[in-house]
Amino acid sequence: MSGETVSQAPAWFTELFAHRRWIRRSGPFPHVYVRDVFVEDFYQRLADEYQRVLGARASAFSRVADNYSADGIPLADLRNGPLALFTSREWHDLIASVAGVEVTGDVEGSIHHHRPDSPAGWPHNDLNPAWFAGPAPGPGEVRLPDPSVDTKTGAKSDGVTARETVRAVAVLFYLGNPGWQPGDGGETGLYANIADPAPTLAVPPLDNSMVLFECTPRSWHTYLGYNRAPRSSIVMWLHRSKDDAVQRWGGDRIVQW
């Protein structure tokens, strides 16, 4: 992986990572895959905190989207423990550097929890708009979704300003799936073509592993479902300005909700 940003990051951050063997793959579309992202001690802290949240705040998990089998809790609600790493500026800058995308500092994400035998999703590319309140965050800051602005539609409270951005980089980090084996289901499917009936590549939900990619018109992916056990992950996005997205992909390629 690119080491520029990591070398400039504080020691507390760099010491969380197990190694620098982040693998770039070109197919079925460009993405980065990582096994054993964090050192074991920190991964276990993340997994323990996830299990604590799942047990203590089960009612805070709500359906992520209509006709989609995951329940989720926003990362914006989990900033007082180890899961706050995923909304830190250091993590934001690392992911942006690896993806090679100029982003705004706006971050959206949640923990996704699929119950056993959840149905599959549908291939999609995540090239969607997202609205955030207030001005763009400054250097060293991140902006998270705010209740005063509907992230998907931009509807806002009186007196609140909102900016339209577009999802730029998607991250899926797997945790809380101990003992997963081939045949257990719950992989993330990556597709060369949205019309393909089967994924070109199935990414297993192995604990402490991660896949990330730039959101493009061809970054087709989905949850493959039919998991024997609960399947969990952290799903998040960095964002780019709408002008940048339109210039790079064309406004008609942005998928409205």
Q: Which two tokens stand for residue 185?
A: 């289901």
Q: What is the pLDDT of residue 159?
A: 93
Asked if residue 8 is part of any domain, the answer here is no
Instruction: Give me the pLDDT at residue 24, please.
Output: 97
Q: Is residue 205 part of a domain?
A: yes
Give residue 177's pLDDT. 97
Q: What is the pLDDT of residue 7?
A: 53
Please spell the DSSP secondary structure of 136-147, one letter per residue.
Answer: PP-TT--B---T
Residue 192 lies in a domain: yes
pTM of the model: 0.95
Q: How far apart, in whole angstroms, are the C-alpha atoms of residue 114 and residue 137? A: 33
- Expressed as residue numbers, the domain containing 153 is 13-19+27-253
What value does the mean pLDDT take over residues 61-86? 93
The pLDDT score that the predictor gives to residue 2 is 41
pLDDT of residue 4: 46
Is the predicted pLDDT of residue 5 greater than 60, yes or no? no
Q: What is the CATH number of the domain that holds 151?
A: 2.60.120.620
Q: Does residue 142 sit within a domain? A: yes
Q: Residue 96 above 90 pLDDT?
A: yes
Total domains in the chain come to 1
CA separation for the pair 171, 249 (Å, rounded): 20
CA torsion, points 74, 50, 97, 165, in degrees to nearest 10? -10
Give 254's DSSP letter: S
